[in-house]
Amino acid sequence: MPTSKANPPYRVRRSPIHGTGVFATRRIPKGRRVLEYVGERISHAEADRRYESKAHDDNHTFLFTVNNRTVIDGGTHGNEARWINHSCDPNCESVIDDNRVFIEAVRTIQPGDELSYDYMIERDPSDPPDIDVIFACRCGAKNCRGTMLLPPARKRKKRPAASSGNAKTKAKAKSKSKSKSKAKAKAKATVRSKTPTKAKAKVKSKGAGRR
């Protein structure tokens, strides 16, 4: 259920986390759609052009990736949503619905609480060594990972080849391995087939995803 634009349950003020934040002025129930992240809708190429001269240690942008073609620049024609801070233990989440971005409460928010969501900013091979410092997190949560970036992807360890067993056992193990691979591929295909395709399909976003 969306909130009324005429009487929103939040206001903008200085934040103890960082700079400006958004705070609840009344109780916001879990599942409530609080506000929409709006701004100028531009291409990824235009987003890169606008911020190409930005210093490498400047993490301040209002870009929010919608899909592989569109980015919302909240710095142009944006609203209060652009001031919502990151948290590793957020009370909101970003949701993409019909190519629009909304901020929804994931638990009941009390008056005075600061609104937050996990930016889940993706890493890039071209990131400088001090990227975690540049995007340091100050949320203060017990589970704070210390950065607004997603954790580095873990490299899968290769299993050592079997050193014993007869040919029949090895063949059986190989066959079983192939069966598992097929099952895994089928599962992935099923997940893809379940991806919503309707205009009103609702999927959880992966956060801003751009810097």
**Which helix (H) or strand (E) is 72 found in, with range?**
strand 71-73
- The domain 10-153+195-204 having CATH identifier 2.170.270.10: the answer here is yes
pLDDT-derived band at 98, boundaries 50, 70, 90: very high
Where do we find the tokens 């609104």? 115
Mean pLDDT of the 52-59 span: 76
Spatial separation of the C-alpha atoms in residues 100 and 77, rounded to whole Å: 15
User: Which residues are registered as beta bridge partners of 73?
Assistant: 40, 63
- The pLDDT tens digits of the residues spanning 116-125 come to 999 999 898 8
- Under 8 Å between Cβ of 55 and 128: no
**What does pTM read for this prediction?**
0.71
Sheet holding 63-65, edge to edge: 40-42, 71-73, 63-65
- Lowest average pLDDT, out of 111-120, 155-164, 187-196, goes to 187-196
The domain ranges of the chain are 10-153+195-204
pLDDT-derived band at 196, boundaries 50, 70, 90: very low
User: When comparing pLDDT for 30 and 170, which is higher?
Assistant: 30
Residue 126: predicted pLDDT: 86
**Which helix (H) or strand (E) is 143 found in, with range?**
none
User: When comparing pLDDT for 59 and 133, which is higher?
Assistant: 133
